[in-house]
């Protein structure tokens, strides 16, 4: 059977860490036993055996430090263990076996604390790699076979059973429910519909599903996460490397102080006492533990930092540069409207187009099929489907000949007015167009666009709270679209129509003035990500090139976690410095006391033990929960919000119908009946939905964000109801032969309502529905 979450076996790469913990614990236990046994025997009146036990503990510590120093010499690396070695040897030579035993306990205590703290700090990172899928169930001509995951090829049909890990990145054939917490940190199951992409490493939390592999195992998401984990664990932070160098410089200082204390007083015991208290463990242990703890905390929030150096660069960032596509926008097209020729309703045009697109591999096909399913349209199995390269696709569905693709293939002869209207709207909105013909006649145009991420504006506000002083949008898109996105999100500058080389130049220019963070997800972003102080890639859907070039990878398909990652990085870096500073200050003070004869070697050993524990305890506080900017809804509020969001989605077609009816009223024969029918639907469907949001959604939003955002939303609810009542009165006042002025007023009221609804929906998606964890719902329109 393929790998299940219930019983993942421990990978081979983790056993050395457990061996190190076990070895350190064994030596610590033995040294403590010898120390306590010596104390017990001594107070029972047998000082000789007690001294022998203490001497044995000292000799074990001396042998351990000798082996450690020898290993460092073989690696041609200097070692600060020479201080402990001299302290142990000095304790034996001056007849202080109890001090030597305490030093041995201190030495092994440091080993235990380091091994256990590092293991705990790496736990979240290691768990990601520990559960990598190893097998898959592949459907083929010979039936169902279990194969190693490395043998899965793009296009293979795979079955993922309940509780099993998705082996490779794939596209769902069936709808499913998945636990994506291993990648995103989100504990709640995520519903995904047929046609959605799922990433390797997530767990099927529902019934069995079938999927098509879209990546090999080596190129899938989880393999990339494992590589990131290995890199993160291998890299050390600049501050940690600086601490190591300072610790080495501490060795000659210690020897000088110890030598002076002996030379001035003639008492070798003082020199031994200085050596005992002079270990630079706060630098050697506390700093890396705090940095690793920060990496662990970030991983728990769905952010992989490629080592301590990446953490420090992220903490230092003050200027933030964004790419647009896939970063501030969703990165995939979404249905924004359907303009029809008038023969068929918009839903009929969409349904027939989606029937054909079910078997299409075109990048826009999945969007059209998903939009139809979200409107609960019944999709028949298409027949005789043929792709026409460079033009589109055609086939038969529900007894109709359906063709969709480019305008030149669909529309012959003079351009109808509805086509001109659709093209004008697409040009203004920056939309893609898919033309549809039914039974040889042009039937409509499907408009698609890459919408703004609903969490993007709030994310930028959170980043400013986290200390970002300047934000800029850097994109290859055209200027008017980029300026619009930039104004909505709230950036300080917009750089549009930029190629990768120009993006790179902008990053370098910003980097010269302040530490810079660059966020992107495309191949063209890779040079800029590599050049920035800290590069951030969206690993959920980003390219391999951008993920490899970046220092930070967001495993969840949302960008608001970046602010939390910056806070975690800054807090961990601050804790590392504080732990090292406090520990070394106490150690230096103890050296002065020892040199002055105020500390015996035994008391100094006990004091140094306390200093080490205190420094490491400070470092471990980086693992504790801290202030974050991401808002998490309680489960009850989340369930209610999802229900309201489903209603929100169902209302979208009605909102677009307001514009369609207003457009039709401008024709030579105003369709007043459609306006009256639309008004009936607004009163029966739209107003109850807005009232439900007023009563249920706004209290949830107030609990999550406070009272500020709800005032404008509540006012808009009232305005929507007012506008619908006005439209009702306008329709009731129309006679059999409406006056042109009356039609003009009605059209104006409809266009006004449409604008209010679009703005209101965008506000709700930004302030309320974006609080839901990333899941398979369509981007905002």
Q: Which residue numbers are catalytic?
A: 323
Which CA distances in Å does 294 have to 194, 222, 388, 576? 37, 21, 53, 10
Lookup: tokens for 687 = 């107003």
- Which among 234, 246, 237, 112 is positioned nearest to 616, based on CA atoms? 112
Q: How far is CA 499 from the centre of its chain?
A: 26
β-strands 392-397, 383-388 pairing: antiparallel
* Residues 586, 592, 593, 594, CA torsion sign: positive
Query: What separation, in Å, do the N-terminal and C-terminal C-alpha atoms of the chain show?
Result: 43
Whether 602 contacts 96, CB under 8 Å? yes
β-strands 534-538, 516-520 pairing: parallel
Residues 780, 456: Cα–Cα separation, whole Å: 12
Please give the sequence-ordered ranges of beta strands (E in DSSP) within 173-309, or none if there are none: 176-179, 190-192, 197-198, 203-204, 209-213, 303-305
Q: What is the DSSP string of 647-709?
A: HHHHHHHHHHHHHHHHHHTTSSS--HHHHHHHHHHIIIIIHHHHHHIIIIIHHHHHHHH-SHH
Judged by phi (left if over 0) then psi (alpha if -120 to 50, else beta), residue 490 lies in left
- Which helix (H) or strand (E) segment holds residue 105: the answer is helix 97-121
Which CA distances in Å does 84 have to 21, 87, 270, 380? 20, 5, 15, 78
* Contacts with 716 (C-beta within 8 Å, 6 or more apart), sequence order: 756, 759, 760, 763
Residues 243, 99: Cα–Cα separation, whole Å: 28
- Which helix (H) or strand (E) segment holds residue 520: the answer is strand 516-520
Residues 103, 31: Cα–Cα separation, whole Å: 10
Lookup: tokens for 663 = 């457009």
């Amino acid at each position: 059977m393929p790998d299940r979450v219930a019983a993942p076996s421990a990978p081979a790469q983790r056993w050395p860490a457990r061996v190190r913990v076990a070895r350190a614990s064994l030596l610590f236990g033995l040294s403590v036993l010898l120390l306590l046994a010596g104390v017990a025997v001594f107070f029972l009146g047998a000082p000789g055996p007690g001294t022998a036990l203490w001497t044995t503990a000292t000799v074990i510590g001396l042998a351990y430090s000798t082996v450690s120093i020898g290993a460092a010499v073989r690696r041609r690396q200097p070692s600060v263990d020479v201080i402990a070695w001299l302290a142990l040897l000095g304790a034996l030579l001056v007849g202080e076996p109890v001090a030597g035993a305490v030093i041995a306990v201190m030495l092994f205590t440091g080993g235990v604390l380091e091994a256990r703290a590092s293991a705990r700090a790496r736990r979240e990172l290691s768990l990601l790699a520990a559960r990598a899928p190893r097998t898959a169930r592949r459907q083929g001509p010979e039936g169902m076979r279990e194969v190693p995951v490395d043998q899965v090829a793009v296009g293979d049909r795979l079955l993922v059973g309940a509780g099993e890990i998705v082996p490779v990145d794939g596209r769902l054939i069936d709808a499913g429910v998945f636990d994506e917490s291993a990648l995103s940190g989100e504990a709640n199951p995520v519903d995904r519909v047929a046609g959605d992409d799922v990433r390797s490493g997530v767990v099927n939390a529902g019934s069995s599903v079938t999927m098509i592999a879209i990546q090999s195992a080596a190129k899938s998401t989880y393999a990339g996460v494992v590589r990131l984990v290995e890199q993160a664990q291998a890299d050390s932070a600049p501050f940690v490397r600086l601490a190591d160098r300072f610790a080495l410089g501490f060795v000659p200082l210690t020897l000088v102080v110890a030598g002076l204390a002996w030379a001035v007083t003639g008492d070798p015991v003082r020199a031994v006492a200085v050596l005992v208290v002079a270990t630079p463990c706060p630098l050697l242990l506390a700093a890396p533990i705090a940095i690793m703890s920060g990496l662990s905390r970030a991983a728990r929030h769905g952010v992989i930092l490629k080592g301590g150096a990446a953490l420090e660069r992220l903490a230092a960032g003050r200027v933030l540069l964004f790419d647009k596509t896939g970063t501030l926008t969703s990165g995939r097209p979404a249905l924004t409207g359907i303009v029809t020729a008038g023969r068929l309703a918009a839903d009929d045009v969409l349904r027939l187009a989606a029937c054909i697109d079910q078997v299409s591999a075109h990048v826009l096909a999945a969007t059209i099929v998903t939009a139809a399913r979200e409107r609960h349209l019944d999709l028949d199995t298409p027949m005789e489907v043929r792709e026409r390269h460079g033009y589109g696709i055609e086939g038969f569905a529900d007894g109709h000949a359906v063709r969709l693709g480019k305008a030149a293939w669909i529309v012959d002869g003079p351009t109808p007015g509805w086509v001109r209207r659709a093209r004008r709207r697409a040009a203004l909105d920056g939309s893609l167009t898919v033309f549809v013909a039914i039974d040889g006649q042009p039937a409509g145009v499907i408009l698609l666009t890459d919408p703004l991420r609903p969490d993007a504006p709030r994310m930028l506000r959170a980043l400013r709270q986290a200390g970002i002083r300047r934000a800029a949008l850097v994109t290859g898109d055209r200027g008017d679209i980029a300026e619009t996105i930039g104004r909505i999100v709230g950036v300080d500058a917009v750089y549009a129509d930029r190629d990768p080389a120009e993006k790179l130049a902008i990053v370098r220019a910003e980097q010269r003035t302040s530490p810079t963070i660059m966020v992107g997800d495309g191949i063209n972003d890779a040079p800029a990500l590599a050049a920035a102080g800290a590069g951030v890639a969206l690993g959920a859907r980003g390219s391999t090139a951008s993920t490899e070039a970046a220092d930070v990878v967001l495993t969840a398909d949302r960008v608001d976690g970046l602010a939390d990652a910056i806070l975690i990085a800054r807090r961990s870096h601050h804790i590392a410095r504080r732990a090292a500073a406090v520990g070394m200050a106490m150690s230096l003070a103890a050296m002065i006391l020892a040199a002055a004869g105020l500390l015996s070697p035994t008391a100094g050993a006990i004091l140094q033990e306390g200093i080490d524990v205190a420094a490491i305890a400070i470092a471990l506080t980086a693992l504790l929960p801290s202030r974050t900017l991401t808002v998490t809804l309680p489960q009850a509020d989340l369930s209610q919000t999802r229900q309201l969001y489903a209603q929100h989605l169902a209302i979208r077609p009605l909102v677009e119908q307001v514009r369609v009816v207003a457009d039709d009223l401008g024709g030579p024969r105003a369709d007043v009946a459609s306006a009256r029918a639309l008004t009936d639907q607004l009163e029966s469907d739209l107003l109850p939905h807005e009232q439900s949001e007023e009563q249920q959604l706004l209290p949830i939003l107030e609990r999550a964000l406070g009272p500020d955002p709800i005032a404008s939303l509540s006012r808009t609810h009232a305005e929507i109801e007012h506008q619908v009542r006005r439209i009702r009165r306008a329709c009731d006042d129309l006679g059999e032969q409406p006056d042109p002025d009356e039609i003009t007023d009605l059209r104006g009221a409809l266009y006004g309502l449409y604008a209010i609804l679009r703005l209101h929906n965008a506000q709700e998606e930004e302030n309320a529905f974006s609080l839901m964890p990333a899941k398979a719902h369509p981007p905002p329109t």
